[in-house]
Structure 1
Amino acid sequence: MSGGPVSLEKTPPENLPEGSAPDPAGPVHARRFWSGRRLPAVLVAAVVLGLVGVFVYDVAAVRAGRPAMHWRRGLAHELATRSLGDPWVITGAVVAVLAGVWLIALALTPGLRGVLPMRRDEPGVRAGLDRRAAALVLRDRAMEVPGVQSVRADVGRRRIRVRAQSHFRDLDDVRRDVGAALAESVRELGLARQPRLSVHVSRPAKK
């Protein structure tokens, strides 16, 4: 199969979850790829490290006999004098909650929506196909159908939408041929979950 990059990941048999040993007689269940979340992790680590470093430096300075930093004295005063109903306190709490929800969502969701898991026919090997590469393969296949002038393919995890324009032949015949060709192409992609195929054929707009 050609048409775009494929992600491969080797999973040693000893690292497979207990009770999910591959069956040599059939394909193994393919799960979505998880994103490394490198940018959010770096941002959170940098912010936490910076805050901890500043607080440690200030505490060490106070222990050495120097006065506390002006911002820490001001922060302590604000926390001691402002009530829970203060708009700034509420705004800070809302921002903290939203940031926490965002981090929890990143931790619990796989990410990498642009990579479609492929069938695991071999134990210990995972493969994924880029969605844009899959769309390119399907577009090129649809362009081979007689009467097709242009094609736009959108590949999702659950559905594939194809819009084609035909400058000759009956639209129903073109739609039938495009649907048959793409159905075979989708099977050849080897995806773990076969998306539903939706084909729409129309005439190009008159200029």
Structure 2
Amino acid sequence: MEQSASTAAYASTQPRGTRADRFWSARRVPAGVVAVLLLGAVGLLLYDLLSVRAERPAMAWRRTLADELATRPLDDVWVRVGACAAVLLGLWLLALAVTPGLRGLLTMRTDTGDVRAALERSAAALVLRDRAMEVPGVRSVRVRVGRRRVRARAEAHFRDLDEVRGDLDMALEDGIGQLGLVRQPALSVAVRRGGRR
């Protein structure tokens, strides 16, 4: 299947015998930010603890924090705001850890278990749009490719709408099959009469 220059496919290696699941995002930026912040906080705390062990006074921020934690009541507004922020941050990090990400990639079938391939949803939509424009009577068409459904909205001009819809269904079903996706999405086609331009 020929692809235009704007289409894109991705490939990676995987161990033999694994399923062709979705691609997982590396999440380098969130992981790097969290790692740098934790490293800085732990390093600062360790330095302060070593200073106290060397019989020097603790840093002012740690004394202030200890006093605030010991004296501020739990129903204080700032305690609740800090707790909510910590919970939201933790939930966000958990969501990043357990979700694949890269929703724009559709996993493709491969003949070997050593290679994984994926097609961008925008590239799949472009290929299917080109197939739809080859159907006689189609003036214009918009194709949206999701993970579970392909939606095509077409305008017809000189043919009967039912005939155009039937031909469009066949062309897009064939096009979806030729994309070689692991999970073939369902097809939804709507055809209407185009206005004069």
When the two structures are superposed, what TM-score results if normalisation uses the length of structure 1? 0.85
Q: Which amino acid aligns with 1:138?
A: L
Q: Which residue of 2 aligns with 1:5?
A: 8
Verify: 1:84 aligned to 2:87, yes or no: no
Q: 1:60 to 1:204 in 2, by over 3 A?
A: farther
**1:143 Cα deviation after fit:** 0.9
The aligned residue for residue 84 of structure 2 is 94
Shift of 1:131: 0.7
- C-alpha deviation, 1:2, in angstroms: 2.9
- Counterpart position of 2:117: 127
In the TM superposition, structure 1's runs of 4+ consecutive aligned residues that sit over 3 Å from their partners are 60-67, 204-207
Aligned to 1:51: 41
Provide structure 1 residue ranges, at least 5 long, that are not aligned to the other structure: 18-28
Q: CA RMSD in A?
A: 1.8
Greater relative contact order (Cα 8 A, min sep 6): structure 1 or 2?
Answer: 1
1:60 aligns with 2:50: yes
Partner Cα distance (1:145, 1:120) in 2: 29
* Alpha-carbon shift at residue 192 of structure 1 (Å): 0.5
Aligned partner of 2:152 in structure 1 is: 162
Measure the CA separation in 1 of the matches of 2:173 and 2:40: 54
- Count of residue correspondences: 194
By how many angstroms is 1:206 displaced? Answer: 5.3
List per-residue Cα deviations over 1:157-183 (Å, max 9, x = no partner): 110111111232222211111111010
Residues of 2 paired with 1:2 and 1:92: CA distance?
Answer: 55
Write the letter of the residue equivalent to 1:8.
A
With over 3 angstroms needed to count, the CA separation of the structure-2 counterparts of 1:206 and 1:93, relative to structure 1, is farther
Residues 1:153 and 2:138 are matched in the alignment: no
Match of 2:24 in 1: 34
| Structure 2: distance between partners of 1:123 and 1:56 | 47
Within 2, Cα distance between the matches of 1:139 and 1:40? 36
Structure 1 residue 204, shift from structure 2 partner = 3.2
